[in-house]
Structure 1
Amino acid sequence: MTTLSLHTRRMELLVAYARQPSLSVRNKLVELNIGLVRKVAHQLSRQCTEPYEDLQQVGCLGLIRAIERFDPHKGTAFSSFALPYIRGEVLHYLRDKSSVLRIPRRWQELNAKARKARKKLIEALGRTPKDTEIAEALGVSLQEWCDCKIATGNHRLLSLDAPSNSMMEDSMTLADTLPDPDYQSQKMVQEERLQLQGAMNQLEEKTKVAIECVFINEFSRKETAKKIGISPMTVTRHLHKGIAQLEVLLEKQAA
């Protein structure tokens, strides 16, 4: 089967699944896109002690979520859409298996440099620097900096019997606070939120505030206009502009 025919077949199945989800179609899509999972599993297997086969299995969960959430009518390439889901699933798995996670030396050094860079940026800017500004100061891509943060952000083991709040005598243990079976879905939401925040940080300030007010804080456009000091019509223009920019930025992150 040629590359063109494979692409056509993949799109046909994605459209069919979006119209009427079924296990058989989903499994065919997993088979056609397993190369994306193998690519991520191969890259990350060199950075940890987990078996390649385990990483591939976890990556397939991310691929399935991407298949379930993909909208073929938006014109986005499926590979660009799916890779963040696959990579995020594997990275979160590795973070949870932190006792066997081997942080690459480059990321250890990058994390040390980031602490110094963040301090200098705070002094220079008078505020907490954005991820894009830290990545630029380090001379790396935003994607690599985000991956470094995820890998190094939580690599120490904690006892489940440890109190969740040491300031309270009768505090719950960490085991009491463990999420329900929706935990994996919640982690995916956190990954998406990280990607969205990285893109939001690249927007013009008024555009960013307009989107946060309307879509996150659920303000009316009139309330948002009053908060920013512009007209409601200008708020609408910022929203349209911001959404268009976010689509481009998120697609670049996925790529």
Structure 2
Amino acid sequence: MDGTQDEPGLDRVGAYAAALAALRRLATLATGDPERPALREFVIGEYMSYARYVAARFRRRGESWEDLEQVAYVGLVKAVDSYDEEYHTTFLTYATPVIAGEIKRHFRDTTWDVHVPRHMQELSGALRQARESLAQKLGRDPTVTELAHRMDAGVDEVVDAMDASVVYNATSLDVAVGMADGDGSTLGDLIGADDPAYDLIVDRESLKPLLAGLAERDKRILLLRYFRNLPQTEIGEEIGVSQMQVSRLLARILGQLRRGLGVRPGWEGAEEGAERG
């Protein structure tokens, strides 16, 4: 049923009068009175249409109508159980904020896909209302400064509220996304990831001045080992030293480069053992 069709009118005055009389009677009964359950059920049933009317004000916030109805009914029950004529207000005047408050609490506590602080949830709700109100008044989207003034909040708070609004409904990475070429892809396929090539670029640029500062023989040893992939025995023959000396030279050169890069000590021995092959 569409809640917008349940707004009370003159045809409901008689029914509400009967419900109000039952509500007053209910207030006089003790908790264990056998008449109380049926009377309470009657009052709640009579005002359920009004609870739906209040819930209809929240229909465009992404929650299903069935869930909104149930939450509104919970608020109605709380209003019926707690109403007292000594509040000097009509029942509908009292029940409206109770029902609306229950719905707002539902949105605040259960419908955010990503948890954010309660203050920020409330600020996001105020932001939505301020944006709609100012857009109608100004005929354009309001600026952050205008929103901050309207909400009596700081610009930084408004920006944080805008960021928080984005996570109200999270989207699955498996959702299909249409591509211009007609191919189907998922949202996860389109999200970038860390590229290890960036780290390689940083390492290379950091090494350039360190390599330039090496002795010519050290540069030649690195060239033969890492660019021509020669084993240590052949490198020794090229430069006129033994394989053991080549191993020690490589360990020293690599250790020097690591220290220049700020790599923690202790790895030189492991590298030396690996280089002996």
Which TM-score band applies after superposition, normalised by the shorter structure?
Answer: 0.3 to 0.5
TM-score if structure 1 supplies the norm length? 0.41
TM-score if structure 2 supplies the norm length? 0.38
> Computing the radius of gyration over CA atoms, which structure comes out larger, 1 or 2?
2
